[in-house]
Structure 1
């Protein structure tokens, strides 16, 4: 710009230029339909072209591949520690039916949700994809409030993920300590300090550079598969049931039978066990939040989502099948003084050394799961803060110059996690952070899908990975499943006089109370500063109309290294010919 405010195109010309027309990129974004062109001072590849067209600067290094992205999400899934931590909601509600055929039925709905999310992720490859997609597909009048609700619901899931996993890890460690030393007396503060230590180390790892995180999670994925396999083999081949005068395995009727331990009818009881499979499988959204750090994101991200959900679903079922065929006493496992059903189960069928070894596998994997949860949570806080969605957003949207990762967001989430873990001293509400992870995740997962099959049915731009003609039917199944489960996930195990404060389902207070406060905050103040996703690209690089023509002409006449246009295969291509041909490209 010149001193008299007259536009001078030569003032922004640099030695290497890329002119990118937003409307040439097959995505729907906050910049779409406005004849916007971006003048970038370096050559860009397809991934950067897409994220720029979506309205955001490329701030991360793209050092995740399909396999390493899958590694993070599979670690977040953490099958072994997730199953161990959620037996309260499957085995304790419906007996073996909750971990066998009940799990299978629940997986049908979960897979529908995962497939629908994968399709959306191929179009909106941003770290805040769920809430960004909601804003773009919602009616203009409601885009801000709907994206606000989805963003906060998903954030509640992310911020409670690491502390809940850390708490589960600490509980397993202390249960093993009780087995090793019968004189040990469990105290709540022991569990709290152990949880603090586990999550503190996890936060350090989550603050590392992307390349380090990719490597660490590749190793943790291998450990997940290895420990799961070893545990499975020992449970089947190395159990001590015969030494106890029992058959090697339970009969089919026992392994698949329902043992209703709630005050509800059998049908409601089975639906309530879905809380376990929903919480266990909620980690498949992690690739979405890592999309800005993944190469070939429009294909790798949805593939990683589907791979995580399908592989996790199958392996989880097979593992729980082994548990159902070998457990000795369900009531004893659930109500054991150890306070951890999985460790209590192992203690029923194994010698003490084997219990310690197999239990240690679950502890190690719970630790890797905790820092993987922190990685995903930090990307969510970072991406939402770019749009001023949180208090003090300017601090949480910063990328550390040394690590190229959102370190501030990691430690903000860690501190909030410490506060949440104080619930364990209340004695009644700590388990609610697990149910928040279930209900909050699937609400945030499904709102974009609901918009996709209703208001945005015709306007949605499909990415290179899509469901084709199965998109609408899959979305209907996904939305129906979640709409059914929303009230069920709030049900307590017992009702009437049996529903005492220590047995109450505190999701009603913890999740819905928090969401109520968030919505009230929006209408009282936040609506003044939050209007939905917004571009963070430097205004000097965004040009339009006559201004764009002047800039392009100046760029061409400068004889610098210039690239124009967009090609679906090569991303950005140099177009020879006249200025008009270049402009049209």
Structure 2
């Protein structure tokens, strides 16, 4: 605790790293950190983890939840991933398949939340991996996790914006049957959306928190209105059909793959995994959040639980009202959600509900960019990327990593060129968001329940006796899903290049190149996370008395954090 309060003279704080209940790159080295100002508990933790406090902590639990819920983007995520739920397993992918998938997702989220409480830094996943891994393997494992998570982040905004552009153009086709969007029109519209999203993601933290609070309110409002209209305002009875489908139809499997029903259901988990992958965003905002060791894990669990529940309820409404799954998936509009709405609603209501999804997709896109920029910033701080000095800088005006925002935007523009190869290659970036995220989420959890089982220092938010059971369920779920997420819909001679699952190329190909780079060169310069505190800030036990004397001679008062003087 701090031993002096409201000094009249300038102060310096001496913090003992080993007295702060975290495991870090500075732990067990008898290190002291000297800073020229008062230190609160949040800054003490980030200093003990080895990093300067560079952001303003203007996010609260609710505003952090706002960003992550916007990244989750339930309505646009559901709309964009119907290819993987209905198109694989029919209505079962929307109902009981979704519920089964959520069991694994919640285990992953709860285990990650516990780890975030112990390592509340924006580079948390890869930082935690390095701290929990055997010393011999901490560099290579953290490198793998860092790049896997970065691929998720850098593909997030362009994939969501692509889905948004697709819905806009599908509405145009719905209005004018003679219109068919070209790849260039889709690319340019998507690029415009991501450009404006990058501008928003470059704003100061306080503005971002305010905007995301508004987008969270819109997410909940538009989802509720859409739910009410789908159930109460559908035109099924006008078509000579009952108001709702029977239970057998709503919960039944229609296997559109060439795999057995069990594999088919597992493949439909792609939708719930991709939809729910945004719950890690609070982890990446931990350095901008007050009371981060508690607020961050709470925001992660709240996002996953709220998103999972509301997502299931909305998809249940879809399963009980859809007229023809096959027609929705294969309609010429090219967007299953718009096709589904057109089956059950008047034209005006189709426009309205699709507009809701479009607005929320835009909000989801810039929220994805915010999280992605924090990941690039934090990893560059440790030298993981080429030109790391540029991406790890904080803009002096906005106090946000603006360079990282625009670097990710440029990478996204390159990824969007995949659409010129057809729908299958561009849809692969959705697969990257699913498989890459859950692999990076789960490796630190595996280390937590194996190698570091007895040495892990829990944060103030933890799972108690449920820590290991949750961890094992999470790991088992992801190990099961890794090969499934690479399965194509069709097999044998039917698995043509335009129908194959390009995840194998886009994700595993990229990860292979990253690991080759590490083996050939990067291992020489990357040894794992490192402190960015200057040498003048770090002192040893032997140097403490001399440093304190020097500080006092300058007319500064000295106070101690973590121990009494």
TM-score interval, smaller chain:
over 0.9
Counterpart position of 2:502: 506
Q: 1:447 aligns with which of 443, 450, 458?
A: 443
2:195 aligned partner: 200
Aligned residue for 1:260?
255
* Aligned length in residues: 556
Aligned to 2:186: 191
- Deviations for 1:63-105, whole angstroms, at most 9, x for unmatched residues? 0000000000000000000000000000000000001000000
Which of 83, 86, 96 aligns to 2:81? It is 86
Aligned pairs for 1:37-116 within 5 A:
37-116=32-111
| 2:20 aligned to which of 19, 22, 25 | 25
Which whole-Å deviations, capped at 9, do the CAs of 1:393-422 have from their partners, x for residues lacking one? 110000000000000000000001001000
For 1:469, the equivalent position in structure 2 comes to 465
For residues 450-529 of structure 1, the aligned pairs below 5 Å read: 450-529=446-525
For 2:138, what is the secondary structure of its paired residue? Answer: helix
Provide the C-alpha distance between the structure 2 equivalents of 1:523 and 1:96, rounded to a whole number of angstroms: 46
What CA deviation, in whole Å up to 9, does each residue of 1:517-556 have, x standing for no partner?
A: 0000000000111000000011101000211122234546
1:129-278 equivalences under 5 Å are 129-278=124-273
Q: How far has the Cα of 1:183 moved from its partner?
A: 2.6
Kindly state the Cα deviation for residue 180 of structure 1 after the two structures are TM-superposed: 1.6
The answer to whether the 8 Å contact 2:75/2:360 transfers is yes
| Partner of residue 317 from structure 2, selected from 318, 322, 325 | 322
Moved more, 554-563 or 85-94: 554-563
Match of 2:411 in 1: 416
Query: Structure 2, unaligned stretches of length 5 or more?
Result: 1-8
TM-score, structure 1 as length reference: 0.94
Residue 565 of structure 1 and its aligned partner are, at CA, apart by: 2.5
The 5 A counterparts of 1:346-425 are 346-425=341-420
Deviates more, 1:183-192 or 1:69-78: 183-192
Report the alpha carbon displacement of residue 557 of structure 1 after superposing the two structures with TM: 7.0
Q: In the aligned structure 2, how far is the partner of 1:312 from the partner of 1:244?
A: 33
Shift of 1:311: 0.2
Where does residue 579 of structure 1 map in the other structure? none
Per the alignment, in what secondary structure is the counterpart of residue 536 of structure 2? helix
For 2:544, the equivalent position in structure 1 comes to: 548
SS of residue paired to 2:497: coil
Q: In 1, are the aligned partners of 2:548 and 2:558 still within 8 Å (CA)?
A: no
- Structure 1 stretch 553-562 or stretch 488-497: which is displaced more? 553-562
CA distance in 1, matches of 2:389, 2:549: 37
The equivalent of 1:299 in structure 2 is 294
Q: Structure 2: how far apart are the matches of 1:422 and 1:409? A: 21
Equivalent pair of 2:14/2:560 in contact (CA under 8 Å): yes
Aligned to 1:5: none
TM-score, L = length of structure 2 = 0.97
Report Cα offsets for 1:474-499 as digits up to 9, x if no partner: 10000000000000000000100111
Aligned equivalents of 2:536 and 2:547: distance in 1? 11
Could you report, residue by residue, the CA deviation over 1:312-340 in whole angstroms, capped at 9, with x for unpaired residues? 00000000000000000000000000000
In structure 1, which of residues 561, 565, 576 is the aligned counterpart of residue 561 of structure 2? 565
Match of 1:578 in 2: none
Structure 1 position 558, deviation (Å): 6.5
Structure 1 Cα separation of the partners of residues 548 and 472 of structure 2: 46
Secondary structure of the residue aligned to 1:326 is: coil
Is the alpha carbon distance of 1:241 and 1:423 closer, same or farther for their aligned partners in structure 2, counting shifts above 3 Å?
same
Q: State the distance in 2 between where 1:166 and 1:29 align.
A: 37
Deviation for aligned residue 1:44: 1.1
Separation of aligned partners in 2, 1:85 and 1:36: 50
Give a deviation string over 1:404-451, Cα, whole Å, max 9, x none.
000000000000100100000011311100000000000000000000
Q: Deviations over 1:164-194 (max 9, x none)?
A: 0000000000001111222322211111000
Match of 1:437 among 429, 433, 449: 433
For 2:32, what is the secondary structure of its paired residue? strand
CA RMSD of aligned residues (A): 1.0
Tell me the distance in 1 between the aligned counterparts of 2:12 and 2:41: 15
Residue 259 of structure 2 aligns to a residue whose secondary structure is: coil
